[in-house]
Amino acid sequence: MSIFDYTGHQLQLYGVQKLIIAEGKGKGLEVLRVRNQSGLDFYLLIDRALDFGQLLLNGVNLSYLSPAGYVHPHYYDYEGNGFLKSFTAGFMTTCGLTQVGSANNDNGEELPLHGTVAHLPASNVSYELTNDEIIIKGTIFDETIFAYKLVMERTIKVALKENVIQIIDKITNRGDLITPHQIIYHCNFGYPFLNEKTKIKINSKNHYGRDENAKHFISEFDQIKPPTSGFVERCYFHQFDENKPGNAEIINDEMNIKVVLSFNPNDLNCLTQWNLFNKRDYVLGIEPGNAFPIGRSASRKEGSLQFINPNESVIHQLKIKFSEVKK
């Protein structure tokens, strides 16, 4: 007997629904609500590069939503740090594809904070339900006349009976220019999963503070503080042994929830940890990428800037596993 003999509709158990936000700055934003059989329930933002909005596990929120909330990309302010006005954060925001980090001028090109891909809509969006997983696909076109032409084919796989998400991005240079390529998977954890009892374990070979403030508190890099007025963000940069898989674990024993981000350091060789424990701005960012968020100009100067040749493709993968804490 099939489990569907007990149901009137598949959505009693799992599935994908296409929804549209009907009010506020998010009005008109198309999203997919995705649910599996094991307690994962999250939103994918079709008009925002198929990035993740709120994510819940068994009804518990794990993600951070910024004060901006859900924002349609037509509100995007390209200038300087205007990105922050429409930074939903959500469980994951993609930064790139040619610039991550601070706004800067690189070879005469003005570049905004964290690039533009998070404000580009996905095209050709489709989803498929198999016996084992939900597969969502979409294409993001980051192409401009007289400039670079990158296309990202995003595939998101969600296991049905295990709480595992796989993100697979194939990025192709369809132009005739050798093009800078920077990407960060800006994963954001929030309350109630994030609180003073949350623990961080990252298997990096070394880490260091981005600025003097972070360096001053380097001994507290893995400690989650309560919300504090005037807390100044602290960013820590992690580097990995390329012969070992990269892992970052975020654990809350009280809630019996562990989240593990896994990636290949030969591909995503940098991880930024963003500690921001201000009142309302209360978030932990765990951000694997192929660059640290210092801005493209600074990356070029230090010799770490990566490129994609014409007709070349690169593939980035990130696995996220949600589980109980083993007693």
Beta strand pairing call for 179-180 and 164-173: unpaired
Q: What is the pTM of this model?
A: 0.97
Q: What is the 3-state secondary structure (H, E, C) of the chain?
A: CCHHHHCCCHHHCCEEEEEECCCHHHCCCEEEEEECCCCEEEEEEHHHCCEEEEEEECCEECEEECCCCCCCHHHCCCCCCHHHHHCCEECEEEEEECCCECCEEECCEEECCCECHHHCCEEEEEEEECCCEEEEEEEEEEECCCCCEEEEEEEEEEECCCCEEEEEEEEEECCCCCEECEEEEEEEECCCCCCCCCEEEECCCEEEECCHHHHHCHHHCCCCCCCCCCCCCEEEEEECCCCCCEEEEEEECCCCEEEEEEECCCCCCEEEEEEEECCCCEEEEEEEECCCCECHHHHHHHCCCCEECCCCEEEEEEEEEEECCCC
CATH fold label, 3-323 = Beta-galactosidase; Chain A, domain 5 (2.70.98)
Q: Report the percent of the chain where pLDDT is more than 90.
A: 96
Region of 255 please: left (phi>0), alpha (psi -120 to 50) or beta: alpha
Q: What does the alpha-carbon distance between residue 153 and residue 141 come to, in Å, rounded to a whole number?
A: 9
Q: Are 122 and 140 in contact (CB under 8 A)?
A: yes
The per-residue pLDDT of the chain, averaged, comes to: 97
pLDDT tens digits along 76-91: 999 999 999 999 999 9
pLDDT at 327 > cutoff 70: no
The identity of residue 79, as a single letter, is: E
pLDDT tens digits along 278-314: 999 999 999 999 999 999 999 999 999 999 999 999 9
Contacts of 38 (CB under 8 A, 6+ apart): 159, 160, 161, 162, 163
Mean pLDDT across the stretch 226-244? 96
Pick from 292, 286, 287: nearest CA to 306: 292
pLDDT tens digits along 108-151: 999 999 999 999 999 999 999 999 999 999 999 999 999 999 99
Mean pLDDT across the stretch 163-189? 98
Sign of CA dihedral 178, 179, 184, 185: negative
**pLDDT category of residue 3 using cuts at 50, 70 and 90:** confident
